[in-house]
Chains A and B, each alone.
Chain A
Amino acid sequence: MPEITRDEVAHLANLARIDLSDAELDHLAPQLSVILESVASISGVAGDDVPPTSHALPLTNVFRDDVVVPGLTPEQALSGAPEVEEQRFSVPRILGDEQ
């Protein structure tokens, strides 16, 4: 299994939307390499004929009757919001300068 480089960690942090500082990248990259090296031991343990398990117990999709039940009031739903405007979540601009 490949070692994970500092650049790769920076790329993954970008995908995960976390601004990592240089110090954090220096710190995390070697630790992640060690973890990956240790989890790589499972490659080859299961043959091609072994089916994957996503859930331990068998699941079937669950539906409920389409009836109205009480939900959160707008005030409750917005109670934890960083910013609220006209009974809506107020968010930073979505488009960049170039768009």
Chain B
Amino acid sequence: MTTDWTRRTAAEIADALAAGEVTSAEVTQAHLDRIAAVDGPVHAFLHVDAEGALAQAAESDARRAAGAPLHALDGVPIAVKDVLATDGLPTTCGSKILEGWVPPYDATVVAKLRAAGLPILGKTNMDEFAMGSSTEHSAYGATHNPWDLDRIPGGSGGGSAAAVAAFEAPLALGTDTGGSIRQPGAVTGTVGVKPTYGGVSRYGLVALANSLDQVGPVTRTVLDSALLHELIGGHDPRDSTSIDQPLPPLVEAARQGATGDLSGVKVGIITELSGDGWQAGVMTRFQESVDLLVKAGAEVVEVSCPTFVHALATYYLILPAEASSNLAKFDAMRYGLRVWPAEGASAEEVMRATRDAGFGDEVKRRIILGTYALSSGYYDAYYGTAQKVRTLISRDFEAAFEQVDVLVSPTAPTTAFKLGEKLDDPIAMYLNDLATIPANLAGVPGISVPAGLAAEDGLPVGFQILAPALADDRCYRVGAALEALLLEQWGGPLVPPEENLS
């Protein structure tokens, strides 16, 4: 095995820490060195906390030496998406309106990381308030895809995915409202999981759309995601939408899947998530993965979810409506930016000027769209209709899961496109989330697993597995099986060429 600790999985690092082969200080320093070496061109991080991470690593090593680690992942460093509140560390959500804001509290998931002893390397870049599929809407500059620095790393969590893909962190946290964990995972060749809605606490997550947002793991392997998911998941009394029951055994499911046996598992290919507009190389890799699932003993059938073709439109009414309400709190009064348009201006004038200066284009687009969808006279036609179609999408999932255990599709219709290519064409940008959005609308869990490289451009393709609500374990079992079979075929993980990083 390599002695470069940045190349190891979180599970391997955890084992090495437990065996006394390495210290958390060494592993954390190795990742900080890697960040210093490659994050200039990649720009995955908005803030790096070297001092804090090394102090946390030293504490972790002291616990290990005393024979009292807090958790299996105690001492394994992690990066956190900048939409999660971190006590003492800046939290900007990729927006100028929160520039310099340091939260006085931790999100529950961050508190859980600290309680388990994971050193926090820093905060990762994202589209402003998680609105976007490319990280280009960050007010602090785009993140670049480690596979090709001229291309997007996906979004909104492109920073977390790129950090993990470029070996700057073994683990990261993301958030997924319409695909912001899974789509970056697909285009950077990493693993990303959107848990069941309510399975992971949203307390301290700066809300984009409350009924859709979910925090989840961003890693390079399925097992690492399962380890992190079990750590961050579970009931939180501080989140009233948190599910008050235990998580299914996720690590166990990943280990079971890794044996490569899927006998008795029924897999459904979603008819509506293929066809025109889907890149040929994406479909080829998808079909190869399906064939591997068959080889592993799964029964594969095609399942139609007819309302999924309306999911994108439904989402772009519900999301802006919720977002426009959520972002009303950025009013220049209690935290964040305050802009004075003139001396002695009124609170309302200050509010208008601040929101104009502090929000970027995409945020303004969605706030205005949401304001429109919620305004009197249009409410029934837009928001009300979208809520009804949301019901139909959930019914499609219910009917499908009566026939099969999991549903599969490519995670995104294309590989990573060029930075700037779709920046001023909102509809083209929105289409990236075509396959990931239905899961958010219905609250079901999903995982994206690397499925290889598209022949035409040599860029990563993602394979998406969706399961019924509360059955996240099925994503891990099938995902780990596919991963094991593909790794066997490839002879090892596919990683971005090192020469592309400079």
Contacts and interface: CB of A to CB of B under 8 A. Distances in A.
Contacts of A41: 310, 313
Interface in A60-96: 61-62, 64, 72, 76-77, 79-83, 89, 91-96
Contacts, number: 177
B240 A17 contact: no
Interface in B352-376: 352-353, 355-356, 359, 361, 364-365, 367-369, 371-372, 375
A13 B375 CA distance: 12
Contact of A43 (B243, B333, B346, B385): B385
Nearest to B395: A50
A21 B233 CA distance: 44
Contacts of A13: 364, 368
Given A45-B389, A59-B241, A79-B102, A18 B359 contact: yes
Interface in B84-104: 101-104
Contact of B365 (A8, A31, A83): A31
Given A45-B385, A79-B104, A18 B441 contact: no
A28 B364 contact: yes
A1 to B, nearest CB: 7
A46 B344 CA distance: 51
Contact of A94 (B104, B240, B332, B346): B346
Q: Chain B interface mostly helix, strand, loop or mixed?
A: helix
B317 interface: yes
A18 B364 contact: yes
B198 interface: yes
Interface in B300-345: 307, 310, 313-314, 316-317, 324, 328, 331-338, 340-341, 344-345
B368 A92 contact: no
A20 B367 CA distance: 12
B368 A46 contact: no
A41 B386 CA distance: 10
B371 A15 contact: yes
B364 A55 contact: no
A16 B478 CA distance: 45
Interface of A: 1, 4, 8-9, 12-13, 15-21, 24, 27-28, 31-32, 34-36, 38-43, 45-46, 50-57, 59, 61-62, 64, 72, 76-77, 79-83, 89, 91-96
26 contacts: A15-B375, A17-B352, A18-B364, A19-B356, A24-B364, A34-B427, A35-B365, A35-B427, A45-B310, A46-B385, A50-B391, A51-B388, A52-B387, A53-B391, A55-B241, A62-B240, A72-B104, A79-B104, A80-B101, A82-B332, A82-B336, A89-B334, A92-B347, A92-B349, A93-B347, A96-B348
